[in-house]
C-alpha cells in the first residue's frame, strides 16, 4: 500500500513544511511527500519543496490560461487536466493520498470523479469547526462572529474532500477557544500552529484507513 503523498498548495506552504518535517518519523511513519503542485507560480511552498532533503518534484498548474482556452468551462477543463497530471505521475510519485494544504481552488467533479475512480483519497485542511464558516475567510469570519457575541470557540478540521465545499467527513477536529481582546492576526497565528499538528494527524489517519480498507 502506497504511503506516497501529493500535496496541493497555493501559498507559503507552512502546512506543507509540517508534512515534510513529519514524513518518515513516528508522526507520519513510512510516508513520503513525492510531489507538490501549486496553482500559483510564486507560491513559496514550491521553494520549500525544492529545499527539502531530498528535493521534492513540483509542478505549476495555473488557472488563468484556461479562461482563454476553454471559455465555456474553464474550471472543468482545469480540473480535468489536474487529475490527469496526478494520475500520469511516474510510479515513484503516484500517490496513495492527496492533501490540500492551503489549496485555494474549489475542486469540481471533473477532478474528484477520476481521482475517486483511481481509489485515491483526498483530504483538506479547513480552519473552522464542521459545518461552520465553510469556504474562504473562515478565520476572519469566526473572529467577527466572536466579537458580535455569537460564538465562543472556533477550530481546525481535516476532512475528506467531496463536491460540497468543506462538507466531507471530518478526520481530525480541534477546538480553539476565542479570546477577548485578541487581534485577528494573533488568532490567525494561533490557528496556524494548530493546523500544523492537525494536518499531520489527518494524513496519518487517512493513510491508515486506506491501508486497513485494502487489506
The answer to whether 145 touches 151, Cβ cutoff 8 Å, is: yes
Q: What is the pLDDT of residues 61-82, one digit of tens each?
A: 999 999 999 999 999 999 999 9
Ordered by where they begin, the domains of the chain are 4-126+158-173+192-214 (3.40.50.170)
Q: Residue 190 pLDDT > 90, yes or no?
A: yes
Q: Which residues are catalytic?
A: 126
Q: Is a pLDDT exceeding 60 seen at residue 1?
A: no
Looking at residue 166, its pLDDT comes to: 73
**Rounded distance, CA 143 to CA 12, Å?**
22
pLDDT for the residue numbered 164: 84
**Can you give the pTM of this predicted structure?**
0.95
Q: Please give the pLDDT value at position 2.
A: 67
How far is the CA of 162 from the CAs of 9, 64, 152, 159, 186, in angstroms?
18, 24, 28, 9, 31
Amino acid at each position: 500500500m502506497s504511503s506516497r503523498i501529493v500535496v496541493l498548495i497555493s501559498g507559503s506552504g507552512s502546512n506543507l513544511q509540517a508534512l515534510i518535517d513529519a514524513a518518515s518519523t513516528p508522526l507520519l511513519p513510512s510516508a513520503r511527500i513525492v510531489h507538490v503542485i501549486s496553482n500559483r507560480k510564486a507560491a513559496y511552498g514550491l521553494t520549500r519543496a525544492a529545499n527539502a532533503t531530498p528535493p521534492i518534484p513540483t509542478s505549476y498548474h495555473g488557472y488563468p490560461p484556461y479562461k482563454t482556452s476553454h471559455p465555456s468551462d474553464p474550471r472543468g477543463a482545469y480540473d480535468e487536466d489536474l487529475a490527469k497530471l496526478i494520475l500520469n505521475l511516474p510510479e515513484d510519485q503516484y500517490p496513495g493520498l492527496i492533501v490540500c494544504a492551503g489549496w485555494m481552488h474549489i475542486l469540481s467533479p471533473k477532478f474528484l470523479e477520476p481521482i475517486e475512480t483511481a481509489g485515491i483519497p483526498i483530504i483538506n485542511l479547513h480552519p473552522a469547526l464542521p459545518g461552520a464558516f465553510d469556504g474562504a475567510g473562515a478565520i476572519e469570519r469566526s473572529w467577527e462572529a466572536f466579537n458580535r457575541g455569537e460564538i465562543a470557540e472556533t477550530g481546525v478540521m481535516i476532512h475528506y474532500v467531496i463536491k460540497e465545499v468543506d462538507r466531507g467527513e471530518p478526520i481530525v477536529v480541534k477546538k480553539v477557544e476565542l479570546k477577548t481582546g485578541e487581534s485577528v492576526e494573533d488568532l490567525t497565528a494561533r490557528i496556524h500552529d494548530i493546523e500544523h499538528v492537525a494536518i499531520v494527524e489527518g494524513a496519518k489517519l487517512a493513510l491508515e484507513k486506506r491501508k486497513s480498507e485494502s487489506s
